[in-house]
């Protein structure tokens, strides 16, 4: 068993982190948080507006602060944004404070799932495939580097992926209380 106080879901946009995370959180009877939704609630504006006003660097600063806050909780399921792993401090927090599940998804599947999505600033590119491939080349090794478990999230319905993930978690993860602060 790999004890950790939290369950963190990482992976690219369109992998199903929020949909699968909510279902697994229900099965585990733990509260669920989506880091992008947390940032929107804290700022009172949508992420595309944060990107427009503050750029990606401003958004990433907010993301780091929100991740520091929410990864410090005890007993939560947290879906990160796809780019949260770009920051080394974020990766360290995720690895130290939770059991990390990488929802792996092919670019083809992302393209299909995100075909109608016009709200993601990083997809506002002339060639979405090329943009997703560039992000995958940079991010996939980072996801794999901190993952305690990798699960493919592209072949089945989200409910089945969540059920499979829950079953696998029963074999390898147990929620442990957070270590006492020194």
For 27-84, the pLDDT digits (tens) are 999 999 999 999 999 999 999 999 999 999 999 999 999 999 999 999 999 999 999 9
Residues with Cβ within 8 Å of 162's Cβ and at least 6 positions away in sequence, in order, are: 19, 20, 23, 24, 27
pLDDT of residue 62: 98
For 83-98, the pLDDT digits (tens) are 999 999 999 999 999 9
The whole-number average pLDDT for the span 7-35 is: 96
The residue to which tokens 């270590």 are assigned: 179
- Residue ranges and CATH numbers for the domains of the chain are 7-171 (3.40.50.300)
With cut-offs at 50, 70 and 90, classify the pLDDT of residue 126: confident
**Is the predicted pLDDT of residue 110 greater than 90, yes or no?**
no
**Is the predicted pLDDT of residue 122 greater than 80, yes or no?**
no
For 131-161, the pLDDT digits (tens) are 999 999 999 999 999 999 999 987 678 899 9
């Amino acid at each position: 068993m790999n004890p950790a106080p939290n369950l963190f879901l990482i992976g690219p946009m369109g992998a199903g982190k929020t949909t699968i995370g909510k279902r697994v959180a229900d099965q585990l009877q733990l509260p669920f948080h989506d880091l992008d939704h947390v940032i929107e609630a804290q700022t009172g504006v949508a992420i595309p507006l944060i990107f427009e006003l503050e750029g990606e660097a401003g958004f990433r600063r907010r993301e780091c602060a929100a991740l520091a806050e929410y990864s410090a909780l005890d007993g939560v399921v947290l879906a990160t944004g796809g780019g949260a792993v770009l920051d080394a401090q974020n990766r360290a927090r995720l690895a130290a404070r939770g059991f990390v599940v990488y929802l792996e998804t092919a670019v083809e599947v992302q393209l299909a799932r995100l075909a109608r999505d016009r709200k993601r600033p990083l997809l506002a590119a002339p060639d979405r495939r090329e943009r997703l491939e560039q992000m995958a080349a940079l991010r996939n090794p980072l996801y794999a580097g901190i993952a305690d478990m990798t699960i493919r999230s592209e072949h089945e319905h989200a409910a089945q992926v969540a059920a499979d993930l829950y079953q696998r978690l029963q074999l390898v993860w147990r929620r442990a209380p957070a270590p006492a602060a020194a």
